[in-house]
Amino acid sequence: MRTGLHDRPTTPEFVLLTGSLGSGKTSLLCDYLSLPDSADTGVIVNEAGEINVDGAVVASGRRDLPMALLGNGCVCCSFGDDLHSAIDELLVTRRQAGAGEFRRIILETSGLAMPGPILRSLMRYDRAEYRLRIVSTLDAVDPEAADVLFPIRSAQLTAARSIVVTKLDRVSAGGIAAAERVARKFNPAAALVTTGDRQDRARAAFAPSEVEAKSVFGRFQAIAATDHSRLGVFLAQWPGPVPWGDLGDWLEDLAGLCGDRLLRVKGLVSVGGVSRPILIDGVGTTFAEPRWAEADLAAGRGIVIIARDVDLDELTTMSAAYSAEVRPALKITSRRAA
């Protein structure tokens, strides 16, 4: 896979979309896929957990979207040949459909992913030729990183060729300026995207302007892989539909137990009396309004929990009340020693 700045203009592009947990990567990607500009784009989605919620969300916006899923956990910790296989899958499906070559493939990584190992894996891919570009999102609401996540976020930002500031509608002009200062501190050479309109922002992120194309970019700054030992990934599952009230109580107790140690909560849950699964999406202890998911896209059920300094015993003890005979038995397991 070629990555030089002097590749032929007709060479398709491989975009590595990275960014911290809950920083708006999936929303940015969905905004782009809604545009005509996204024609001839393939997508690979990876999650830190085996319930690939982002894949379901992305696919629900476009039924004809060429997409492959990487459900092997944190993409920077356990790649193997999975990424190569996902690229192959996209290319084979595309050729079988007779739709011509992709102009662009976008890999959306987990928020825990370090760019370095992904780049090394891509460099070993020799079955197609791509120009490589890294795009990182930066949450304007929370641009600074907690100590345990600092190595991850700093690696994502310093590797980026473009930094897209997200959630601009939730902060003041001063908040946007603060996010810009963070971006410049880590990577003054990156193209900074702070467009207010969501579609224009997505277009600028994935179809860069001539100004960015002519920019002089610094070399990739390698940062040592962070120790994930303080981060845990857990999976909470009910064997059948759960009453809506019980689910709400459990989420509230989870937030109360973990507090600021809770980093990400995301999953699909079957609720009693409802035919379609419910999408649960939380960043920290703040949860988005639950919404329906397409039943045929929801292959797995469960809630992935990513937390700092939380062990399985804490979650199991907290959840014991939700495993009584009158309720479907809730089971929590550790999916990866993060």
Q: pLDDT at position 57, please?
A: 53
Q: Which of 67-81, 116-130, 199-213 has the highest mean pLDDT?
A: 116-130
Neighbours of 41 (CB within 10 A): 24
Cβ neighbours of residue 276 closer than 8 Å, sequence gap 6 or more: 292, 293, 294, 295
| Average pLDDT of the chain to the nearest whole number | 78
Q: Higher model confidence: residue 2 or residue 335?
A: 335
Higher pLDDT residue, 180 or 329?
180
Q: Are 82 and 68 contacting, i.e. CB atoms less than 8 angstroms apart?
A: no
pLDDT in tens, 102-112: 889 999 988 88
The conformation of residue 242, written as its DSSP 8-state character, comes to: B
- Would you say residue 320 has pLDDT above 90? no
Looking at residue 63, its pLDDT comes to 52
The pLDDT of 296-313, averaged and rounded, is: 76
Share of the chain above pLDDT 90, in %: 26
Evaluate whether 113 touches 233 at the Cβ level (below 8 Å).
no
Question: From the CA atom positions of the chain, what is the Rg in Å?
Answer: 20
pLDDT digit string, tens, across residues 239-297: 888 888 889 999 999 999 998 888 778 788 888 888 888 888 786 787 878 877 765 54
Residue 48: the pLDDT is 55
Tens digit of each residue's pLDDT (9 = 90 or more) over 146-181: 777 888 888 889 888 899 999 999 999 999 999 999
> CA-to-CA distance for 262 and 146, rounded, in angstroms?
12
27 or 219: which carries more pLDDT confidence? Answer: 27
